[in-house]
Amino acid sequence: MTSSPARFDRGHTDDLMSFLAASPSPYHAVANTAERLEKAGFEQVEETAAWDGTAGGKYVIRGGAIIAWYVPEGAAPHTPFRIIGAHTDSPNLRVKPRPDTGAHGWRQVAVETYGGTLLNTWLDRDLGLAGRLTLRDGSHVLANVDRPMLRVPQLAIHLDRQANDGLKLDRQRHMQPIWGLGDDVRDGDLIAFVAKEAGVAADDVAGWDLMVHALEAPAYLGRDRELLAGPRMDNLLSVHAGAAALAAAAAAGDGLAYIPVLAGFDHEENGSESDTGAQGPLLGTVLERSVFARGGGYEDRARAFAGTVCLSSDTGHAVHPNYAERHDPTHHPRANGGPILKVNVNQRYATDGSGRAVFAAACEKAGVPWQSFVSNNDMPCGTTIGPITAARHGIRTVDIGVAILSMHSARELCGADDPFMLANALTAFLTD
């Protein structure tokens, strides 16, 4: 199951830290991924344009999702795909349509909880605000107030003597951050402020998709700096590794037996049901258009999909030293133990025996160890884009990832070696 681990490349994890810090929203993550792929020779294609079948690297952006692929020279219309699936969104607090609110001399921002947020991890932190503004002409502008702007203050223990015996937070009443003082709350103040920060006129803003982010920079942790703490590792860690693997596959040249693909979806944390989520048609449309652009028809599309494999890469649970009883007693993934294979026979994960063989072969080729994850039978199992991808497209899918602690916290924790080992395994998978 394991082999000699790859030499830890501190450069990869340093780069991941930069990527996490620069990507406080799915829209920033997509823009940063596109920038990295363009440096590797990829070019953007518009969904509304006609596509050609030329070789090379291409990508499509739709909102907070990106699909990128590399067509080797001479690829046939029925050439199968090798897909890395991931998601760009993370649980957080998101700005409501009428954000300006407040009470008792405090100015506040009305927010809605997004995904399975660990609410207490957002308390008493210095918070920024990021996302995108939609202008009246339909264009988008990225916005990022990356300095202390917001704070969700916790009630003092003197006013809640039972706080340490079980903190109970009301999403509506207790999670609205403050951003200043004053009784004169006016509609439009927040968006006017963000528009100015983004360099656009407030009157030009027709809509917004804004969210709160923690400001602490990613950092190495531990006596020997063997751990990595940072925000949004679920699941930008996989997006970053997938982009690195796709660039490496493109650099490998035109001897690839498959067409390597990176699919970074939005909205995984709330069910993937959107035009940019895994439940939507985006991936299937892109793959089909790639087949048709190379002169293929329905038969070629069917042949290509039948030979396609997707590695759905998302974070999983490392064994928690303080709550080991919550884990399966015979499956204890450890930090820096290599990527994990995620299994659930009730199809919360899409992995089966044949998928296990594909993943094991990729890890063996890359020279990295790997581990198995399965939930305790008495604990509900989470899910990913894996089963959705398998069911929607009829594509063999394997759920994998990196084991972390503090999943869905404003700040998560993983082994500092694991991101590099995941990227190596993904590269081996794409270039098999």
Among positive and negative, which fits the CA dihedral 422, 424, 427, 429?
negative
Question: How many Cα neighbours within 13 Å face the side chain of 78?
Answer: 8
> What confidence score (pLDDT) does residue 327 get?
93
Model confidence at 4: pLDDT above 80: no
Look up residue 418 and give its two tokens.
Answer: 């694991």
Let me know: does 194 contact 145? Beta carbons within 8 Å. Answer: yes
Whole-angstrom CA distances from 420 to 36, 224, 356, 366, 368 are 17, 17, 20, 11, 10
Those residues with Cβ within 8 angstroms of residue 415's Cβ, 6 or more apart along the chain or in another chain: 226, 227, 228, 318, 334, 335, 336, 337, 402, 403
Average pLDDT over residues 374-389: 94
Lookup result for tokens 């398998």: 390
Cα angle 375, 380, 385 (rounded to 5 degrees) comes to: 80
User: Do 29 and 23 meet the contact criterion of CB atoms below 8 Å apart?
Assistant: yes
Name the token pair of 231.
């925000």
Q: 92 preceded by cis ω (within 30°)?
A: no
Per-residue pLDDT tens over the stretch 61-105: 999 999 999 999 999 999 999 999 999 999 999 999 999 999 999
Please choose, from the candidates 302, 395, 354, the residue with its C-alpha nearest in 3D space to the C-alpha of residue 85.
Answer: 395
The rounded distance, in Å, linking the Cα atoms of 68 and 66 is: 6
CA distance 339 to 359: 10
**pLDDT tens string 255-268:** 899 999 999 999 99
- pLDDT value, residue 267: 98
CB distance 428 to 258 below 8 Å: no
* Residue 372 pLDDT greater than 80, yes or no: yes
∠81-86-89 over CA atoms, to 5°? 150
Q: Does residue 427 surpass a pLDDT of 50?
A: yes
- DSSP letters, 147-208, are EEEEBBPPPPGGG-TTGGG-----TTTT---EEEE-S---TTHHHHHHHHHHTS-GGGEEEE
pLDDT class of 5 with cuts at 50, 70, 90: very low
Q: Provide the whole-model pTM.
A: 0.96
- Provide the pLDDT for residue 9: 65
- DSSP per-residue codes, 267-296: -GGGTS-STTSTTSSHHHHHHHHHHHHTT-
User: Which residues, in sequence order, are bridge partners of residue 83?
Assistant: 261, 310
- H or E, element range at 130: strand 127-135
The answer, yes or no, to whether residue 184 has pLDDT greater than 90, is: no
Average pLDDT rounded to a whole number, residues 18-22: 98
Q: Which amino acid does the sequence have at 119?
A: L
DSSP H or E run through 65 = strand 65-71
Partner residues linked to 108 by β-bridges: 101, 178
Rg over alpha carbons for the chain, rounded to the nearest Å, is: 22
- Mean pLDDT score of the chain, rounded to an integer? 95
pLDDT at residue number 8: 63
Which residue, 398, 109, 71, is CA-closest to 246? 71
Helix axes 418-430, 233-251, angle to 10 degrees: 40
The position carrying tokens 């993370």 is 90
Q: Distance between CA 20 and CA 240 in Å, rounded?
A: 9
